[in-house]
Amino acid sequence: MRTKHTVLPWQIFKRDDPLDDSDPNLDIIAPSIASIATLHKGGWLGSDEHIANAEFIVQACNSHYELLEACKKLVTAVQSWHTGEWFDALVTGKQAIAKVEPKERG
């Protein structure tokens, strides 16, 4: 039996270093505050890319099931084009796309 992943949604938690606030370590955490992964500062990546990667991982994971459902509905809709299911698939697809469109960081 396949083990299930930690409950979604995941989020980013910045662990600031009081001696160096230029590039924080980032934890990807679950609602229970369990750590999923840690992205350590330094190395070859700059701070902006470091943060962008963490945001991308969290966004992709949090959107996975919604995107899968939207794709399934779109496939069903195309297969049954002459029914009203296509409109529901269209709405679901648009909602899923909006969820994963890149957003400006504030």
Confidence of residue 31 (pLDDT cuts 50, 70, 90): very high
Contacts of 36 (CB under 8 A, 6+ apart): 6, 10, 27, 28, 29, 30
Residue 31 belongs to a domain: yes
Residue 76 belongs to a domain: yes
Residue 75 belongs to a domain: yes
- Model pLDDT for residues 91-106, shown as the tens digit of each residue: 787 888 888 776 665 5
Q: How many whole angstroms separate alpha carbon 44 and alpha carbon 33?
A: 28
Query: Domain tally for the chain?
Result: 1
Q: What is the pTM of this model?
A: 0.68
Residue 5 belongs to a domain: no
DSSP annotation of 33 reads -
Residue 3 belongs to a domain: no
Contacts of 66 (CB under 8 A, 6+ apart): 95, 96, 99
Residue 105 belongs to a domain: no
Domain containing 24 equals: 11-100
Residue 2 belongs to a domain: no
